[in-house]
Amino acid sequence: MNALNNQDSVFCPALFLTAPASGQGKTTVTAALARMLKRQGKVVRVFKTGPDYLDPQILAQASGEHVEQLDLWMAGENYCRYQFYQAAKEADLIIVEGAMGMFDGNPSSADLAATFNIPMAIVMDVKAMAQTAAIMAMGLANHRSDVKVAGLIANSCSTERHRQLIEEALPESLPLLATLPKSESIALPERHLGLVQASEMRDELEQRFEAGADWLVAAGLENILQRFGNVEFKPSQLPLLEAHLQGTTIAIAKDEAFSFIYQANLLVLQKLGADLKFFSPLHDSLIPQADALWLPGGYPELHTKKLANNVSMLNSIKEFAAAEKPILAECGGLLYCLESLTDLNNETYPMANILAGEGAMKGKRGCQGMQTAIFPEGEIRAHAHHRSRSFNMPEPLSYGRRQHHPAPGEAVYRDKNLNASYLHLFFPSNPSVISCLFKPELADGINK
């Protein structure tokens, strides 16, 4: 049980897994650690740093508990504090997986860890280096005095001698927590936007999680709890929301093609009073009876033919738009609204055709990063992450404002009551704007 002090703070063991860069094995280690501790009978709450949709799906299955995304800029410090506090009240321990490298981004993973005084463990792929890995880890650990580092987890460590060379180069203040041999049986499958969705490979993931837990036990991490800090999480409350969407039914696309949905966004809609109905543009023939429609992001480019062949659903979307009911389309949802979409095989299929333009999966690089979406009703924080392009689009309503760069961000389009953009909106950052997007008649009465 977690102890409470007289200020009602909650103390809970917590550890933050970070790395010098992406691709070091953070998610694999985090998932394996969550599963290993779950097998010990622990209630494990995992958080993911940054606006990530795919890693949380993996980590939720590994831990058996829901996973929240936390970001100091997108969500704010109070929101992050609230989520930690709520988790600490119910969990035996908390694990946070960082994003990118330890100090990448502003705010960075290190900023989040320092804000909440959570010790960090560095996961590093040490292939093709030895003492240099120790030197890099020391540099990361000593870069800032407000960041506590519990030790190094050396991934892809090939031999006992390899381990010795790294360990001998580390000071006593920075212990080598474990050396992990490379193992294809635990690696998590990836595709063009990141990891494969958990829903597509649940049975295979279970095998990989179990193998990953065994992998950590064999490496001596069974007693890693001693490296967790007993962190004090202070109480916090989120602002109370008025039920502006009471009596409003929102149809939400959710299936293999449309799955980039923050649980936090759904909770905001429910707190605003909305009734949520989920449906599948791939498998259903009609949108359910609803007052508004949300088409979130996902992987429509992997299902273009099936989406195009579901003519009854496309007609249902068109009828919904023709009735001028509110529609919010984000990223993959935007592509679905266009006239056509050219997929990864360079094959072009018709889409819903409720917004002028064509989408295509062209080029290896895309847009990503934090932005503020600007609407006449107000501003809301968001992020972009895509590899597609859109062409022959209408004049934008506005452009996103990038977090740290003066260049215009993603275009925001409005056609009657359809709002569409590549931006993924974080609803808790401005619920009033969300209320207006799904119920436009509220715009004149809600404080912006």
Burial-class residue 103 by CB neighbours within 10 Å (0-12, 13-18, 19+). middle
Cβ 146 vs Cβ 102: under 8 Å:
no
Give, rounded to a whole angstrom, the gap between the first and last alpha carbons of the chain: 43
Query: 10 Å Cβ neighbour count for 182?
Result: 13
Question: d(Cα 359, Cα 343) in Å, to the nearest integer?
Answer: 9
Question: d(Cα 74, Cα 425) in Å, to the nearest integer?
Answer: 9
Region of residue 324 (left: phi > 0; alpha: psi -120 to 50; beta: else): left
Query: 10 Å Cβ neighbour count for 104?
Result: 17
In the chain, the largest separation of any two C-alpha atoms, in whole Å, equals 70
Q: Name residue 107's amino acid.
A: P
Catalytic residue among 12, 157, 331, 337: 331
Question: What is the SS3 assignment for 396?
Answer: coil
User: What is the chain's Cα-based Rg?
Assistant: 23
Question: d(Cα 179, Cα 162) in Å, to the nearest integer?
Answer: 9
Tell me the CB-side half-sphere exposure of residue 345, using CA atoms within 13 A: 7
Place of tokens 């063991």: 13
Cβ 351 vs Cβ 308: under 8 Å:
yes
157 a catalytic residue: no
Cβ 88 vs Cβ 94: under 8 Å:
yes
Question: 3-class secondary structure for 3-28?
Answer: CECCCCCEEEEEEEEECCCCCCCHHH
Question: d(Cα 221, Cα 33) in Å, to the nearest integer?
Answer: 8
Query: 10 Å Cβ neighbour count for 216?
Result: 21
Closest residue by Cα to residue 109 from 158, 156, 157, 55: 55
Question: d(Cα 394, Cα 414) in Å, to the nearest integer?
Answer: 9
Closest residue by Cα to residue 443 from 378, 386, 377, 399: 377
Question: d(Cα 189, Cα 412) in Å, to the nearest integer?
Answer: 33
Token duo for residue 124: 């590093």
The residues that are catalytic are 331
